[in-house]
Structure 1
Amino acid sequence: MKVGTDGVLLGAWATLKNNPFSVLDIGAGTGILSLMLAQRSHAEIIDALEIDELAYEQCVDNFEQSPWDDRLFCYHASLEEFADEIEDKYDLIVCNPPFFVEDYKTKNEQRDMARFQDAMPFDHLIDSVAKLLSQSGIFSVIIPFKEESLFIEIASNFNLFPNNILHVKGSPTAKIKRSLIEFSFGESDLKKEALIIETSRHLYTEDYIKLTKDFYLKMKDN
């Protein structure tokens, strides 16, 4: 699976202000989020969770070949299993969940698993996060903008409240496509920001370059 913009955005944006000792990447895919957070932070434990066997194997291989392999570990299990069995709490949890809920599906079961929300319903995700997150921990997620209100409403049922929201648009004239949301236990003042990715095709905005340039080989300042 190719590295998507969503994963790069979340990996670059997720806050490290609480200097996390332990990080959990839910639905890690090939491990891009975990690798980005290993590059950005001094977290001593970075655990990844991936249920798809092929993605899990690729994730393990990517971890082993990285400079941070001593801090990275991938579990091959479902989120529900993991949340029920693991007693540890994490200071930072990140997730780029499957969320395409349209009625059509392809014939590629693996791609469907990665793309459709029924592989990881929001309420199951948030329930597990609430079990696994430390009391002062932070949960960062990227979802479609159209799902933002529902996601925040479900999270509030588990005493998780938004602190920071980034609305992402592909271009200046496009509609808001993604919401990056940071949650924690307990309410606080909500900070909202906006990010535009491109001014035109392949011409990236200064804000996007500033956020992501450390992770692209060819990304340079204008």
Structure 2
Amino acid sequence: MKIGTDGVLLGGWVHIPENIESILDIGTGTGLLAMQMAQRSNAELIDALEIEDAAYEQAVENFEDSAWADRLFCYHASLQDFVEEIDDQYDLIICNPPYYTDTFKELNPKRALARHTHELNFQILLKSTSKLLKSNGQCAFIIPFKEEDVFLKLAETFQLNPIRITRVRGNISSPLKRSLIQFSKQLKNKEINELAIEVARHQYTEDYKELVKDFYLEM
């Protein structure tokens, strides 16, 4: 399965709090984000969640073949079932949502939710994340920039406060495409900035190269 830029971006961008013990990757796909967290942190418990059969099998295989096999575990379940069955809470939760569509239109929050016909929508994601997150925990997501306002409004209803927002452009002259957002249950100062990935085709900006340098053999 193809490794996408979004996952690598989130894995390199997210701030990992000190003395972190547990991490959850929701919708892990092939396990990329969970393994990035294992590479970047000393967390003893890194759980991943994947509902799709083939992706789950790939993630398990990748975990077993990695240098961090003893710290990685993948659950084969939906987020809804996972929340009902698991009592544990996590220090950090990350998610590169696989279910949004780029045809999403600017709508009020209620109508926006109605447009999500997939099994997992933003409301389910944020409600579940809030329940699974420790009181001093943090969570981070990458979403389409045009859905940022709706996402932030929904997060507020579940007591998730944005502490970092980075808006991403494909290149220095293109429109904003993605939003990287990190939340805390605690009220903190909010940091907002922008990132461009390329100067020209396959010519990456220094900021992007610095962010993802630990995950590529060549840049």
TM-score normalised by length of structure 1: 0.91
Question: Counterpart of 1:163?
Answer: 163
> Partner letter of residue 199 of structure 2?
T
C-alpha distance in structure 2 between counterparts of 1:211 and 1:185, whole Å? 25
Instruction: Answer whether contact 2:102 2:144 (CA < 8 A) is retained.
Output: no
Number of aligned residue pairs = 207
Question: Counterpart of 1:57?
Answer: 57
Instruction: Answer whether contact 1:24 1:94 (CA < 8 A) is retained.
Output: yes
Superposed, 1:130-149 pairs within 5 Å as 130-149=130-149
C-alpha distance in structure 2 between counterparts of 1:34 and 1:51, whole Å? 15
C-alpha distance in structure 2 between counterparts of 1:119 and 1:159, whole Å? 23
Structure 1: stretches of 5+ with no match in the other structure:
104-115
CA distances 1:17-39 after superposition (whole Å, capped 9, x unpaired) = 24320000000000000000100
> Partner letter of residue 187 of structure 2?
E
Superposed, 1:39-118 pairs within 5 Å as 39-97=39-97, 98-100=99-101, 102=103, 118=118
CA distances 1:77-116 after superposition (whole Å, capped 9, x unpaired) = 000000111000000000000211538xxxxxxxxxxxx8
| SS of residue paired to 1:189 | coil
Instruction: Answer whether contact 2:34 2:47 (CA < 8 A) is retained.
Output: yes
Q: Percent identity?
A: 53
User: What RMSD over aligned residues (CA atoms) do the two structures have, in Å?
Assistant: 1.2
C-alpha distance in structure 2 between counterparts of 1:210 and 1:185, whole Å? 29
Question: Counterpart of 2:216?
Answer: 216
CA distances 1:143-169 after superposition (whole Å, capped 9, x unpaired) = 000000100100100111100001100
Structure 2: stretches of 5+ with no match in the other structure:
105-115
> Partner letter of residue 101 of structure 2?
F
| SS of residue paired to 2:38 | helix
> Partner letter of residue 211 of structure 1?
L
Structure 1 residue 186 displacement after superposition:
2.9
Structure 1 residue 193 displacement after superposition:
1.2
| SS of residue paired to 1:70 | helix
| SS of residue paired to 2:2 | coil
> Partner letter of residue 83 of structure 1?
V
Structure 1 residue 211 displacement after superposition:
0.4
Structure 1 residue 187 displacement after superposition:
2.4
C-alpha distance in structure 2 between counterparts of 1:18 and 1:154, whole Å? 28
Question: Counterpart of 1:7?
Answer: 7
Question: Counterpart of 2:186?
Answer: 186
Instruction: Answer whether contact 1:22 1:43 (CA < 8 A) is retained.
Output: yes
Structure 1 residue 188 displacement after superposition:
2.0
Structure 1 residue 117 displacement after superposition:
6.8
Structure 1 residue 120 displacement after superposition:
1.6
C-alpha distance in structure 2 between counterparts of 1:168 and 1:148, whole Å? 12
Instruction: Answer whether contact 1:100 1:117 (CA < 8 A) is retained.
Output: no
Instruction: Answer whether contact 1:21 1:45 (CA < 8 A) is retained.
Output: yes
C-alpha distance in structure 2 between counterparts of 1:154 and 1:118, whole Å? 17
C-alpha distance in structure 1 between counterparts of 2:210 and 2:20, whole Å? 23
